Chains A and B, each alone.
Chain A
Amino acid sequence: MALPPHATIGQRVWHYGFRVLAGLLFVFLIFPLATIVPLAFNSGELLHYPLQGVSLKWFHEFFTSEEWWRAMKNSAIVGFFSTILATVLGTLAALGINRADFPGKQLLLALLISPMMIPLVITALSLYLFYALFDLNDTYIGLIIAHAILGVPFVLITVSATLQSFDPNLIRAGASLGASPAKVFLDIIMPNIAPGIASGAMFAFATSLDEVVVVLFVAGPDHRTLPRQMFAGIREQLSPTILAAAVVLIVVAAVFMAFLEMLNRRNARLAQPMEPKG
């Protein structure tokens, strides 16, 4: 999109004007995050500029306070186990859906993906009422299952996408060369769909780490996760410790993004023949 030398004035104005507009829009995107990061390093208690000094004390507070520590621990436990559950069941189901054609396949897929589309408050209310019957409210297991269900659609979508670019002839080749089905799965299918599984797991974990509506409904005070703790903090009293927590979560987001980008590149290499040329 370089400007040709014979461009008219109108074209030049449009060319640069559009770039300024796009720049402003990206400023809008990053602006709020850029605003809060320095404030987390403020040495005073105030949540606005100018900074009273630079210090790490709010991070110290964040990592040592019992409340925040428990919230982090809960997020780690719930995130870890719900991701495992979502990834294992989601991958198996994606393999099954990919394996055969059967009537109602599209409907089944739509149903399995529906937790992504149905408003969270409906999921939360339904599980709250349902868990009340079995004493599953205020338990880890209830929360883990809920978050696994919310994570499954992402695993299904990412694994299905890698399976579509996977050549089933490789399975036949392996089988014809005498590999057992288990060996075919481990040595041929798995390495090919691993990036899809990994990115699905990332999405599932990020979903659990970010989810607060279901937690608000089904978790008790002992099972507060990180976002739930932040929600309470924002509601009651905004403190610089919350900003420190926010900065930690932004760093986590950056790590996720970098990791996923890496996986995408690998995926793209594997799936190159399928990439549209444009």
Chain B
Amino acid sequence: MAETTMAAGAAPGGEDLKRRLARAERRKKLQAGALIMPLLALMIAFYFVPIALMLYRSVDNSQMREVMPRTARAIAQWDGKDLPDEKVYRAVALDLKEAREKHVIAKVARRLNFDKAGFASLISRTGRKLARVDLEKCTSCKEKLISIDKRWGEKPWWTVLQRGLKDYTLIYLLSALDLRYDDENHIVRVPEEEAIYLSIIARTIHISAAVTFLCLLLGFPIAYFLATAKPAVRNVFMIVLLLVFWTSLLVRTLSWIVTLQDSGVVNSFLLWAGIVDKPLPLVFNRFGVYVAMTHVLLPFMVLPLYSVMRVIPKSYVRAAHSLGATPWKAFWSVYVPQTLPGIGAGALMVFIQALGYYITPALVGGPRDQMISYFVAFFVNERVNWSMASALGLVLLILTASMYLLFGRKVNIANMKMG
């Protein structure tokens, strides 16, 4: 100890102090780690792992290999030029027969049919016929299968089968972008009448952008009013805003349905005033979606705008006036630029939230107003196609994350607290 102190020379005990400081610093870090760990563990186990698994599910194809293990092995070596050889045909016959006995053949049929229409009937028909065939005695499975269904003699079906037995598949992701494989394994656009998802993605972005614009249009004057009103007036209006903000999303959506329905207050008024002679369709269409979503998301625009406007010194605008700017010019080139951080934060918050909206459009929109989230739920609940749901989930996640990565840096997310 004495030696090191001597070596440190100038400051006796300096080394010791340094070491003690380092130890204290290390202890602090360990404490910090121990405090964060429980939450981090929970989030990893119940949030990040599930999301990773969901994303994996959109390309995972292992189920097919489990049901048709022999075919998967045999067909991997097929060069794709001529029809596969007897070995592959035999593997298919054995796998399908077994799959039928185990009652899992429908899985294969459905999965392959997703890639190429008609495959479901080919598989189930083959399985049915094979049930009566003793494959031990069968000399040529190739002839047998082709006699059951001549499609087994056509190459495109084999291309699909080979593709369908790889470890991973892109068909769901491609499908989510209106793409598919053709018979030569090239990626092509689906025919126009089958294309749906790109227009759904475009619709999701369109509705979100429109709602963000509407929120800015309505939110700016509200925030400006709050920032400039007398404290007593401001308190009253702030209470209104916060009450609406704290009210359940479902309650607000419900109240717009009641308000905008054919016999609702708005239509009753229009009829009474003689402005229209039959009720306007105000809900269960795009108009209803815009109104309800704007109403629900408006506080997320107003609150960040207000917190920025509150601290803008009035003297700047006054200075502009005194230097001869017109009121409009002073407002537009002096006041508005100072609110840009608030506009950015509010717009990003509204837009990102709108992208993922499901409940409100599902309740106040029509069939042509549904966004990506709706179709994720649709594939889980109606189609029981988890892979397709996951693929659409991945698309939605990429949309949201790219918005955040593009603009999130400029807007500190932790400051976007509500209220």
Asked if A56 is at the interface (CB within 8 A of a chain B CB), the reply is no
* Range class of the B interface residue count: 35 or more
B277-298 contacts to A, CB under 8 A, are: 295, 298
- In the assembled complex, how far is the CB of residue A133 from the closest CB belonging to chain B, in whole angstroms? 8
A244-272 contacts to B, CB under 8 A, are: 246, 249-250, 253-254, 256-257, 260-261, 264
- In the assembled complex, how far is the CB of residue B66 from the closest CB belonging to chain A, in whole angstroms? 16
Number of interface residues of A (CB under 8 A): 93
How many cross-chain pairs have Cβ atoms below 8 Å apart between A and B? 266
- In the assembled complex, how far is the CB of residue B366 from the closest CB belonging to chain A, in whole angstroms? 14
B3-44 contacts to A, CB under 8 A, are: 25, 28-29, 31-40, 42-43
Say whether chain A's binding surface is mostly helix, strand, loop, or mixed: helix
Asked if A160 is at the interface (CB within 8 A of a chain B CB), the reply is yes
B222, A47: Cβ atoms closer than 8 Å: no
CB-contact partner of A216 in B246, B248, B377, under 8 A:
B377
Residue of A nearest to B57 (CB): A129
| Given A102-B29, A148-B42, A152-B39; A246-B251 close (CB under 8 Å) | yes
A108, B36: Cβ atoms closer than 8 Å: yes
Provide the residues of chain A in CB contact with B311, threshold 8 Å: 276, 278
A158, B218: Cβ atoms closer than 8 Å: no
Interface segment, one of B77-85, B176-184, B396-404: B396-404
Provide the residues of chain B in CB contact with A231, threshold 8 Å: 250, 359, 363
Provide the residues of chain A in CB contact with B48, threshold 8 Å: 111
A110, B265: Cβ atoms closer than 8 Å: no
Provide the residues of chain B in CB contact with A51, threshold 8 Å: none
- In the assembled complex, how far is the CB of residue A264 from the closest CB belonging to chain B, in whole angstroms? 8
Residue of B nearest to A105 (CB): B32
Q: Given the complex of chains A and B, what is the CA–CA distance between A130 and B418 in angstroms?
A: 30
CB-contact partner of B358 in A10, A120, A246, A257, under 8 A:
A120
> Which B residues form the contact surface with A (CB < 8 A)?
25, 28-29, 31-40, 42-43, 46-51, 53-54, 57, 218, 221-222, 224-225, 228-230, 237, 239-259, 261, 263-265, 268, 295, 298, 310-313, 327, 352, 355-356, 358-359, 363, 373, 376-377, 380, 386, 389-390, 393, 396-397, 400, 404, 413-414, 417-419
17 contacts between A and B (CB under 8 A): A1-B228, A26-B237, A26-B241, A36-B251, A49-B265, A89-B39, A96-B31, A121-B358, A121-B376, A122-B397, A125-B393, A152-B43, A231-B363, A234-B253, A243-B254, A257-B243, A276-B311
Sort A-B residue pairs by CB-CB distance and give the 5 closest, nearest first. A119-B356, A96-B35, A130-B50, A32-B255, A278-B311
Given contacts A10-B327, A48-B261, 9 further A-B contacts (CB under 8 A): A32-B295, A112-B39, A117-B404, A119-B400, A125-B389, A238-B254, A257-B246, A260-B246, A278-B312
